[in-house]
Chains A and B, each alone.
Chain A
Amino acid sequence: MVTLDERPQLIDALSALRDRVAAVRLPLPLPDTPRARQTRAELLAQLDDYLVPRLKDPDAPLLAVVGGSTGAGKSTLVNSLVGRRVSESGVLRPTTRTPVLVCHPEDHHWFAGMRVLPQLTRVWLPQADEDHPADEATPEENALRVETAASVPRGLALLDAPDIDSLVVENRLLAAELICAADIWVMVTTASRYADAVPWHLLRTAKEYDATLVTVLDRVPHQVIGEVSRQFEALLDKAGLGDVPRFTVPELPESADGGSGLLPDSAVAALRGWLAHRAEDPAARQQAADRTATGVIDSLDARLPELAAAVAAQYAAAGRLGGAVETAYGEQGKRVREQLGRGAVLAGDARTRWRGYPRDSTADELLDALTESLAALLHCAVSAAEERVRDAWRREPAADALGPLRTGGDRDTGERIGVEVRRWRRVLEELAEEEVRGVERPSTSRTAAPEADTVAALLAAALLGGRRTRAAGERLAELLGAQAALRLRDKGGELVLSYVDRVLHAERDRRLAPLEALDVTPEPQAELIAALSVLQKEK
Chain B
Amino acid sequence: MADGRDHDRDRALDHQNPDRDRERWDDGLIARRASERAAATVAVGGDVRPGGGDLPEEDTLPPLGGSYGGPLRTRLDALHELVGLSRTRVESEALAEAGRVLDEAAARQRLSSRHTVIAIAGATGSGKSTLFNALAGVPVSETGLRRPTTSAPIALSWSEGAAGLLDRLAVPSRLRRRPLAGGAADTELQGLVLIDLPDHDSAVTAHRDQVDRVLGLVDAVIWVVDPEKYADAALHERYLRPLAGHAEVTFVVLNQIDRLGTEAADLVLDDLRRLLDEDGMALGEHGEPGATVLSVSALTGEGVSELREMVAGFVQERTAPERRLAADVDAAAARLRPAYLADGRPGLDERARDAFTDRLAAAVGAQAAGEAAERVWRRGAIRACGTPWLRLYRWYERLRAHGSTDPRLTSPVEEELTARQRVEQAVRAVADEASRGLPAPWAQAVREAATRGAEGLPEALDELTVTIGDPAARPPRPAWWPAAVLAQVVMTFLQIFGAVWLVGQIVGVVEPGLLPPVLVMLGGIVGGPLVEWACEGAVKGPARRYGQEAERRLREAAAACGRARVLDPVAAELMRYREVREQYATVAGARASARIVGGLRSGTSRLGATRAGVRGR
Contact = CB atoms under 8 A, between A and B. Distances in A.
A354 B419 contact: no
B411 interface: yes
A475 B428 contact: no
A387 B428 contact: yes
A194 B229 CA distance: 12
B233 A172 contact: yes
B145 A384 contact: no
A165 B436 CA distance: 43
Contacts of B408: 355
A376 B436 CA distance: 23
Nearest to B125: A192
A218 to B, nearest CB: 10
B357 to A, nearest CB: 14
B411 A471 contact: yes
Contacts of A353: 368, 372
Interface string B355-368: 00000001111011
Given A93-B230, A195-B124, A376 B419 contact: yes
A196 B234 CA distance: 10
A35 to B, nearest CB: 18
Nearest to A380: B421
A348 B372 contact: no
B407 to A, nearest CB: 5
B425 interface: yes
Interface stretch (B25-33, B98-106, B263-271, B564-572): B263-271
Contacts of A219: 228
B420 interface: yes
A95 to B, nearest CB: 10
B231 A348 contact: no
A383 B425 contact: yes
B203 A352 contact: no
A409 interface: yes
Contacts of B417: 347-348, 351
Interface string B340-370: 0000000000000000000000111101110
Nearest to B270: A92
Contact of A471 (B229, B259, B407, B433): B407
Interface in B400-429: 404-408, 410-412, 414, 416-422, 424-425, 428-429
A79 B368 CA distance: 92
B375 interface: yes
A403 B471 CA distance: 49
Interface string A162-174: 0001110000100
Contacts of B363: 347-348
For the side of the interface on A, what is the size category? 35 or more
B579 interface: no
B371 interface: yes
Contact of B432 (A69, A166, A408): A408
Given A344-B421, A352-B368, A195 B260 contact: no
B122 to A, nearest CB: 11
Given A228-B145, A256-B260, A339 B421 contact: yes
B123 interface: yes
A195 B231 contact: no
A231 B146 contact: yes
Nearest to B412: A468
Contact of A91 (B229, B260, B278, B471): B260
Nearest to A197: B203
Given A193-B124, A380-B421, A355 B411 contact: yes
Given A361-B371, A369-B368, A165 B232 contact: yes
A473 to B, nearest CB: 12
Contact of A193 (B125, B410, B421): B125
B107 interface: no
Interface residues of B, number: 74
A381 interface: yes
B174 to A, nearest CB: 25
Contact of B419 (A167, A347, A365): A347
B8 interface: no
Interface in B189-228: 199, 201-205, 226-228
A358 interface: yes
B295 interface: no
Q: Of B202, B418, B425, which is in contact with the most chain A CB atoms at under 10 Å from its CB?
A: B425
B379 interface: yes
A198 B234 contact: yes
Contact of B232 (A69, A227, A348): A69
A352 B472 CA distance: 11
B414 A407 contact: no
Interface string A374-415: 001101110110010000000000000000000111000000
A237 to B, nearest CB: 14
Interface string B392-404: 0000000000001
Q: Of B368, B416, B469, B617, which is in contact with the most chain A CB atoms at under 10 Å from its CB?
A: B368
A160 B150 CA distance: 33
B312 interface: no
A65 B237 CA distance: 26
A191 interface: yes
Contacts of B419: 344-345, 347-350, 373, 376-377
A354 B420 CA distance: 17
Contacts of B367: 349
Interface in A206-248: 219, 224, 227-228, 231, 235
Nearest to B440: A394
Given A71-B227, A348-B422, A356 B145 contact: no
B147 interface: yes
B459 to A, nearest CB: 13
A87 interface: no
Contacts of B147: 192-195, 231
B148 interface: yes
B496 interface: no
Nearest to A256: B259
Contact of B368 (A195, A235, A348, A474): A348
25 contacts: A91-B227, A92-B617, A167-B232, A192-B124, A193-B228, A195-B148, A197-B203, A197-B205, A198-B201, A227-B145, A344-B419, A347-B416, A349-B365, A350-B368, A354-B407, A355-B372, A357-B407, A376-B425, A380-B421, A380-B424, A384-B424, A384-B428, A387-B428, A408-B431, A471-B405
Given A342-B416, A349-B367, A408-B428, 9 more contacts: A70-B229, A196-B201, A197-B234, A257-B264, A355-B408, A355-B411, A360-B379, A471-B407, A475-B405
Interface of B: 123-126, 145-148, 199, 201-205, 226-234, 236-237, 259-261, 263-264, 267-268, 271, 275, 278, 362-365, 367-369, 371-372, 375-376, 379, 404-408, 410-412, 414, 416-422, 424-425, 428-429, 431-433, 436, 469, 471, 617
Interface of A: 69-72, 91-94, 165-167, 172, 190-198, 200, 219, 224, 227-228, 231, 235, 256-258, 339, 342, 344-345, 347-361, 365, 369, 373, 376-377, 379-381, 383-384, 387, 407-409, 468, 471, 474-475
Q: Which 5 A-B pairs have the closest CB atoms?
A: A192-B125, A93-B231, A409-B429, A348-B365, A195-B147
